[in-house]
Structure 1
Amino acid sequence: MTDGPPAFDVAFQARFGNLLRWRRDVRHFDPRAVAEADIRAILHSAAFAPSVGNAQPWRFVRVRTRALRDALAIHVDAQKAEAATRYRGTERYDHYQALKLHGLREAPEVLAVFCDEQPAAGHGLGVATMPEMLRYSCVMAIHTLWLTARLRGIGIGWVSIVDPLEVQALLDVPAQWSLIAVLCVGYPSEASLTPELERHGWQAREPMDDRIFER
């Protein structure tokens, strides 16, 4: 006879709530290295994420080559400059230019997360009408490893101002892999419960009740 599921008591629920609140997007990193055991534990935790058809389509690339790191940072800086043009002539232009949107040069670890759009696992279950479920599964894996990192005092920053095709080419991955995220990983140089974009006046969080609907 196997043991039943654990009981998550009120104290655990409160601590888990704190974990969720302290999961912040990090752009400023302490230079100290992340132990290899911690990186492995964070990556392996992704296997506990749900995936459509149990396809496990996530693929992780550790960007460890200095030249690739530099090229990736230069690419993102160029993408930020291009994105700035959409704010030109508005009051947000200078504000946008002042924002720090990535920590690719400082973070001790950089991960690129891809979705294998043709995984052998899963045998195509659950994707006939919604093939995007493979990508959603990868996002769930990212959230799972993000919480695992936070448990260890390690922060993650999601870099989204990239050209996916350029990153795929830069990292020389298979053609059927699509980019989901570029992640900076390391110890935060500062701690705050408030999202950085909110602290810098870009966008405040809005009431959750305004985003819940009933039919």
Structure 2
Amino acid sequence: MQAETITPTTTDFDAAARDAVYRAIFNRRDIRGQFLPRPVPDEILARLLTAAHHAPSVGYMQPWNFILIRDAERKARIRDLVCRASAEEVRHIEDARQVLYRSLKLDGIIEAPVNLCITCDRSRTADAPLGRWHNPEMDLYSTVCAVQNLWLAARAEGIGVGWVSILDKDELKALLGIPAQITPVAYLCLGYVSDFANKPELENKGWRKRLALDELVFSESWAGNGEAPLKTLIKSA
């Protein structure tokens, strides 16, 4: 019996569409200080949330919810949480880097027209543990995929996004009235910006440099040698 010939799929993106995807990836930035007061239209927010909702999720659990925050007083109270958390965090930074740390702008909560808290409902698929029985954290990872979808869509829309992670989750939950079984995964600032920097801000400010990808790629096992042709292509990309 003759084996069936299967034709592999090919891209249905033309070159311009393909390049636009990579452009969004490579030019995405974590925005802190470039937000403009211009409102973000609801039709754009709807597209961004729809993009987030189409993220991959293990077991198709879709564990996310989205809390939009626009109220100036509420944003100011959340900013207070960040200031307190930052004062705690800086004590754990090596002395030589504390001055640089204090010089960094760590959030755009007040300046950004829209704040967005993306959460994970860890009870949503408790009775259907497909993909979670051995790895229960997959619901959290799925929610992070929603964050990335939204972030890339925002870049394509000319909207800046900043992820604020320096805050106490329990205090944030209390302030936003988040139920006990819900985990805040990302607190984001969204808005139009004056510019997208050519490099990530922390790289421009000298905090860290991008690691060399070819040194992070292994073959068959941890630190396995091999993949020399691929690594050559990576280095030249």
Q: TM (normalized to structure 1)?
A: 0.93
Asked whether the equivalents of residues 54 and 121 of structure 1 are also in contact (C-alpha less than 8 Å), the reply is: no
Q: How does 1:37-186 map to 2 (within 5 A)?
A: 37-87=43-93, 90-120=95-125, 123-186=128-191
Give the distance between the partners of 2:104 and 2:142, measured in 1 at CA: 30
Give the distance between the partners of 2:194 and 2:106, measured in 1 at CA: 15
Residue in structure 2 matched with residue 208 of structure 1 by the alignment: 213
Residue in structure 2 matched with residue 21 of structure 1 by the alignment: 26
Give the distance between the partners of 1:49 and 1:121, measured in 2 at CA: 20
What's the secondary structure of 1:91's corresponding residue?
helix
Asked whether the equivalents of residues 31 and 106 of structure 1 are also in contact (C-alpha less than 8 Å), the reply is: yes
Asked whether the equivalents of residues 36 and 111 of structure 2 are also in contact (C-alpha less than 8 Å), the reply is: yes
Unaligned runs of 5+ in 2: 1-8, 222-237
Identity of aligned residues (%): 40
Residue in structure 2 matched with residue 31 of structure 1 by the alignment: 37
Task: Work out the number of aligned pairs and report it.
Answer: 211
Asked whether the equivalents of residues 203 and 209 of structure 2 are also in contact (C-alpha less than 8 Å), the reply is: yes
Give the number of the structure whose alpha-carbon radius of gyration is greater.
2
- Of 156, 173, 193, the residue aligned with 1:188 is 193
Asked whether the equivalents of residues 111 and 183 of structure 1 are also in contact (C-alpha less than 8 Å), the reply is: yes
Asked whether the equivalents of residues 70 and 113 of structure 2 are also in contact (C-alpha less than 8 Å), the reply is: no
* RCO higher in structure (CA 8 A, sep ≥6): 1
What's the secondary structure of 1:165's corresponding residue?
helix
**In structure 2, what residue type is equivalent to 1:36?**
D
Call closer, same or farther: CA 1:207–1:194 in 2, change over 3 Å.
same
Q: TM (normalized to structure 2)?
A: 0.84
**In structure 2, what residue type is equivalent to 1:172?**
G
Stretches of 4+ moved more than 6 A in 1? none
